[in-house]
Each structure stands twice: as C-alpha cells, then as structure tokens.
Amino acid sequence: MLEGFYKVRFQVNDAVGRSVMYAHAGSMLGGNSAFAHYGTYQEIDGVVTSEITSHRHNDDPNYQSLLGADIARINVRGSAQGDIYHFKGSSPQMPGAVFQSMMTPIEDETVPAVGAVGEGGIVNGLYSVHIRMLDGVDGGLTGVMLLHEGRILGGDAFFYYLGTYTSANGRWKGQILNQEHTPAKGEHPIFGGHEVGIGFSGTCDAAGALLDATALAGKRSLRLNAVLKLMRPA
C-alpha cells in the first residue's frame, strides 16, 4: 500500500531530478528546492494511478523545470517492486515526453506530542521553506515542509527533514533532524555529509511562518532563519 514518506528520483526523457513525497489517504504532498508537488492517487489491485501538479516556489532561474513550465501536471501509473514504487506517465505541458519516477521509502519514527497544536497554531499543510544562514556564513537551502498536527516531514533534492513541533497563539517551536537521501557534499558543503540537528522557534499565521534556529552540523554551531509559505492546506 502506497502510504508513507519517500525519496523520489524522476526523469523526463534524459533529464533527471529528485524530491521527497508523502503519500497518505489518497493525497500526495512533497517537492524539492524549487517546486512543490501535490496531487491525488488511488490504488486498485496493486496498480496506482496519480495526478500530480508541480508548482514553482523558488524564482531562482538556475532551477529549471524538467517539464518546461512553472506549473505543470503529471499523470502516472505504476506499481510496487518490493518496497519501491515505479511509475511511468506523461504531461500535457510537454507532449510526447516520457515521465518516469521511482519512490523509495524513508524510515520515519517521529512521534509528535498529543495536542501539539492549539488555538491559533500553525495551519496543517505543505509549505515552501527558504533558509538563510546568518553571521556572515554564505549559503542557504530551499525546499518543502509538510506540517501536520505536530509532525514535520520535508526535504529537497538532497536532504530530508523529520521533526516535531508545538504551536498555539501565533507561535511555534520545535526540532528537526536534517539528513541526506542523496550525497550532497559537493552541492551543499555546510550541511552535506552531516546529520544536522536544528532547534527553532518563531511566529505563524494563516499564510505561513517565520523561524529562528540553531543548527549543529558536525562540530559547527550555525544560526539561521527561514520563511515558510503555505502552498497547499492539508
């Protein structure tokens, strides 16, 4: 059954991309450094059909859509081979192109506190997240984050995030463990090769959230802040 948190390798003809995806109760939510991915799926007799929308959240022109559009629709069909799901399909934004993807499960044992979100707490949903390093450290990360009743799942083309949070009255705080699903040292030398623990606190409203955080990457303690924008309520 297609339920859980996955890393995704996808391909349009010869071009390759990566992302993360959470599948649950007929809904799929995920994305990477530049695009949020959301849609629906159904599984009948072991065959999964899905329609996914890819929606740009990062204006950096260095991140190009493999489908040639900032908003694109993908229709796929596939099944499991062991624990790994394989899909094949197409997009109306790129007629004639072949889309293929492979979804590999990521273990997730995060357990949020009971009643983690109170009145005025952060909205459940899929968010874009743009991280900026502080104290003169160059670099940053962009990705997506799924928040649901105290649980954090997310990532990008190289990393995945697991964590928990509490939230009420326009405030939130929590902790995240950032880990690689694809080797990243050449692309992201600050976090690449490390399991990074992040503690954060900040503010939130119906449209998104802000946070200030401290990250422990190897022997380095780094300060950062981030902006979250709600892409899709859940």
Q: What is the pLDDT of residues 22-43, one digit of tens each?
A: 999 999 999 999 999 999 999 9
CB 165 within 8 A of CB 154: no
For 82-118, the pLDDT digits (tens) are 999 999 999 999 999 999 999 999 988 888 888 999 9
pLDDT over 90 (residue 138)? no
Q: Provide mean pLDDT across the span 209-229.
A: 95
Per the CB < 8 A criterion, the answer to whether 157 and 182 are in contact is yes
pLDDT at residue 186, rounded to an integer: 76
- Whether the per-residue pLDDT at 73 is higher than 80: the answer is yes
Overall average pLDDT of the 145-165 stretch: 96
pLDDT of residue 108: 86
116-119: which pairs have CB atoms within 8 A and are 24 or more residues apart? 116/149, 116/150, 116/151, 116/164, 116/165, 116/166, 116/167, 117/149, 117/150, 117/166, 117/167, 117/168, 118/167, 118/168, 118/169, 119/168, 119/169
Q: Over 90: is that where the pLDDT of 188 sits?
A: no
Q: Return d(Cα 147, Cα 126) in angstroms, integer.
A: 7
Q: What's the rounded mean pLDDT across residues 157-171?
A: 97
Alpha-carbon distance 132 to 204, whole Å?
Answer: 18
- Under the banding of pLDDT at 50, 70 and 90, the label for residue 1 is confident
pLDDT at 81: 96
What is the percent of the chain where pLDDT is above 90?
87
Q: What is the mean pLDDT of the chain?
A: 95
pLDDT given for residue 166 in this prediction: 98
Ordered structural domains, the chain, with CATH: 4-105 (2.40.128.380), 125-233 (2.40.128.380)
